[in-house]
A and B are shown apart, each in its own frame.
Chain A
Amino acid sequence: MQLSSVFKHYSTGAGRLTVLRDVSLTIAAGEFVSVIGPSGSGKSTLMHILGCLDVPSEGTYRFQDLNVGTLDASALARIRNREIGFVFQNFYLLPRMSALRNVELPMVYRGVPRAERRRRAEALLERVGLADRIHHLPNELSGGQRQRVAIARALANDPAVILADEPTGALDTQTGREIMALFRALNEQGVTVVVITHDPDVARTARRMIRLVDGRIVSDGRVEES
């Protein structure tokens, strides 16, 4: 993933609001990166661009040799489906579907046959430690369990990268640590992980930390092992 001189502007009633200023950044396969910054620093916007939910106003974003800015909505959806797994602060599970069907959904959009979909969703839920909860609805699960379901869903199509936006924000400290440990384990298995957070403790779980203030990168470096 490579951002070159990316700007993002929004037009508001009062005029143009610039959220990202001249952001250049390369994330290689297999990295575990955290993006930290106060609220309003543009980190969520950065994640939306990295996740192909949005496109830069200026500059280019290349994802696996594709210039994302030139793609249409369908092509962006295809990348999100196959190459990116999202994990959100509020989990964003579909409330009327069981954990299993939530995990199956990305594979449904990919066109994976039913039996294979089911087998893989079960394996993923087992991998995140929810083998005995697969038929539960989201509201029958605790916050930590829901986030595990979301992580299993993010992994469904074996993506190149997991993008997590404040994944621990709605969880207590202990559960948050467990979720971060899970990300770390996934990273050790070869998945690229990008975590966006305002919490330095969470950010330090990663191997590389990018600090964002007011839409600019102010620091980018390795995290010392503690």
Chain B
Amino acid sequence: MNLAEMVLSAWDALRANKLRSVLTMLGIWIGVASIIAIFAIGQGGQSAVVSVIESQRLQRTIQILPREWIEPGLPQPGQVLSISDADLALARSFSGVASVGYTLYGQGPVSAVGHTVNASIQAGPADLDELARFMVVQGRMFTATDVVAHRPVALVSQSLAKKLFGAASPVGRTVQVGGHPVHVIGETVSTQLGILSTLLGADEIYMPATTCRDFFPWWSITEMDVEVAPGVDKADLSRRLVTALNVRAGNPDAFVDSSGLWTGIEHMVDTVTRILTWIIGAVAGIALLVGGVGVMNIMLVSVAERTQEIGIRASIGARPRDILAQFLVEAVVITSLGGVAGIGTGIGVAAAVRAITGLPVGVGWPVVIGSFAFSAWIGLICGLYPAMKAARMNPIDALRYE
């Protein structure tokens, strides 16, 4: 009896007991669906985080901050709260430094068409999008020319745009920043830490560092962004640079390289996501196991119910291995169908999560193929004992069974 023949006959047997077959399938169905959905969401979360860590520009940038900004403490002698132009010049004099930029942070009122929002203002060089971890979704990023020319241009975050302009596009509009008119050239979303920032939706406005200093000359420079030349050891350069700055400030704890802090947080989020994925994956695995036990149970019932059929098949020449194969195939067909239904449901759930959270949730082929193979394998394992029981029946006793 060939495989196609057996699958067909298994299909007939399952159709004869539709409700029971579907209920049997359900355990595998739910198990596979949750595994697919969980891994998709977990991987989506991870890839969102990893994409930030792996950003080329960030990999080559040393972000130096006064330590006071990160670990505020009591005022003390030699305390440094800002980065001076002299500090920037010192950094520029190091060999292995490709470029030195700076960023400023502050709070300020941003208003348009009668709305005023107290927003977080970030200013920096033309690659501020990578340094401050955001992405332009509409319009454009400001350029190096914009920075050099002190142009009054800015990008607003989606959340701020919504508060100022409602559903209308902010690009091309004018906002007031600290009383100065600024031309909005783009709209952004944060790429920071995936889920968190998407849910928090901070009100941010981004502009060239030069323009910002024109508007708020009293603001201090809070971060120095040192781009490392290709082939230079970033960690070593960072150590030397921080030491030199500290010596200049006369305080061994004045400055700190924050890029390590960021990756630390990202690694933590990454690890938490991974652990959660595995925990929920394990729970789903247990659900699959329970589903498998259900399949075994139903197969045992089915074998008992069809004892006479087994006897008839044996009398017309089915070998024990034909009977074994028949019930094994039936079990595998049940769990595989459950697996396919589960894969479909899981992909649906993943798509829904993507639509709701905007995470880059995707179901990979290895996961799909893996869960299909796993569900078929469960059928094989759980069908084995009932099928062996069927194959070992004595034909005469089986025939006489009523």
**Chain A residues within CB distance 8 Å of chain B:** 48, 51, 53-54, 73-74, 77-78, 80-82, 86, 88, 92-94, 96-97, 105-106, 108-111, 153, 156-157
Chain A: CB-nearest residue to B392: A73
Say yes or no: is B317 at the interface (Cβ < 8 Å to chain A): yes
Q: Is the CB of A74 within 8 A of B317?
A: no
Q: Which of B73-81, B93-101, B153-161, B307-315 contacts its partner?
A: B307-315
Q: Contacts of A93 on B, CB cut-off 8 Å? A: 312
Q: Is the CB of B399 within 8 A of A109?
A: no
Q: Tell me how far the C-beta of B123 lies from the nearest C-beta in chain A, rounded to whole angstroms.
A: 77
Q: Tell me how far the C-beta of A127 lies from the nearest C-beta in chain B, rounded to whole angstroms.
A: 18
Q: Tell me how far the C-beta of B389 lies from the nearest C-beta in chain A, rounded to whole angstroms.
A: 15
Q: Contacts of B12 on A, CB cut-off 8 Å? A: 96-97
A78 and B315 CA atoms in complex are apart in Å by 10
Q: Tell me how far the C-beta of A22 lies from the nearest C-beta in chain B, rounded to whole angstroms.
A: 22
Given A48-B396, A53-B395, A54-B396, A109 and B1 contact (CB-CB distance below 8 Å): yes
Q: Contacts of A157 on B, CB cut-off 8 Å? A: 317
Say yes or no: is B321 at the interface (Cβ < 8 Å to chain A): yes
Number of interface residues of B (CB under 8 A): 23
A53 and B316 CA atoms in complex are apart in Å by 10
Q: Contacts of B315 on A, CB cut-off 8 Å? A: 51, 53, 80, 86, 92
Q: Contacts of B312 on A, CB cut-off 8 Å? A: 92-94
Q: Is the CB of A109 within 8 A of B318?
A: yes
Chain B: CB-nearest residue to A45: B396
Q: Can you give 23 contacting A-B residue pairs, CB < 8 Å?
A: A48-B396, A53-B315, A77-B320, A80-B314, A80-B317, A86-B315, A86-B316, A88-B399, A92-B308, A92-B315, A94-B309, A94-B312, A94-B313, A97-B12, A106-B317, A108-B1, A109-B313, A109-B318, A109-B322, A110-B317, A111-B1, A153-B316, A157-B317
Q: Contacts of A81 on B, CB cut-off 8 Å? A: 316-318
Query: Restricting to B363-402, which residues have a CB under 8 Å from any CB of A?
Result: 395-396, 399
Chain A: CB-nearest residue to B391: A73
